[in-house]
Structure 1
Amino acid sequence: MTFSHDGLRDSLTMLAAPPYFYENLRRELATAERNRSRFTLIRFQLFPRDEQASLASEESQYELAILSFAEVLKTSVRAEDLCARLGRFEFTVILKAPSAVAESLTSRVVTSWSSHQEWSKTALCKSAIVTAKIGESSLEILNRLDNQELIGITQS
């Protein structure tokens, strides 16, 4: 499986591609600073449940899991929010809402993902949330998001 995009959309999931995401993040930071508003970034990452397995080992199985997770995201976010696939198994959402709403959305996404038994048995979803700070650059908020511990929510 190759990770490709046209600059706007990821060719596999049709979520926003990295260049489009980074441009929107820059704009959202400028708008937040100008209007003194807030927004939140949510990072979701898929990990193999089987310690011996690699997400790259069975391409078609994990390609279907990626597509399934992208569908969960698309049905969970509002039209004004932006979902992007930034890495092979990494998804990020620009959520025009405070962290409490982000936590609720994250919980809904993880619950929905867990309800897809065949895919959730293949890959565990972990997430991290950060709220933008006034005057912060794209690089600063992304570094904070990368340094945030990914949390896995277990569903019974």
Structure 2
Amino acid sequence: MKIVLVSSAGGHLAQLLPLEPWWSKHERTWVSFKLPEVEAALAGEKVVWAYFPTTRSAINAIRNFFLAWPTLLRLRPDLVISDGAAVSVPFFIVAKALRIKTVYIECFDRIDMPTVSGRLCYPISDIFCVQWPQQLRSYPDAVNMGPVL
């Protein structure tokens, strides 16, 4: 299976890295930000560098939308998986338009209040995962996968 893992830096990336026993078995490409900590964490991995910052930056959201089209068309993944943040939204919109399956994992640290990215990706995700039972109040059709950290 070919997968694209989309993630912001910091805690978002830290929540996808423990899934290595799963993602390491697949052909994969990451989408994240060209920051020193991301470069170190993804050394040796194929990475497409997204535009940063994304939080409250409409310009970079649009730039990432136009990055998502050629990236997903070129890679033709079977699955796009993300745990946010804002960089996930344009990739999920494009994946949906291209009929590529998507999995979203809501953040570990947002137990009682949904994230903006989670709210936007929830209706277009093929599978939406949460890490706490309390998150099911905001996402009633989600799968509770438990904490990944």
Normalised by the size of structure 2, how large is the TM-score? Answer: 0.31
Q: Is the radius of gyration larger for structure 1 or structure 2? A: 1
Normalised by the size of structure 1, how large is the TM-score? Answer: 0.30
Of the two structures, which has the highest relative contact order with CA contacts closer than 8 Å and spacing of 6 or more? 1
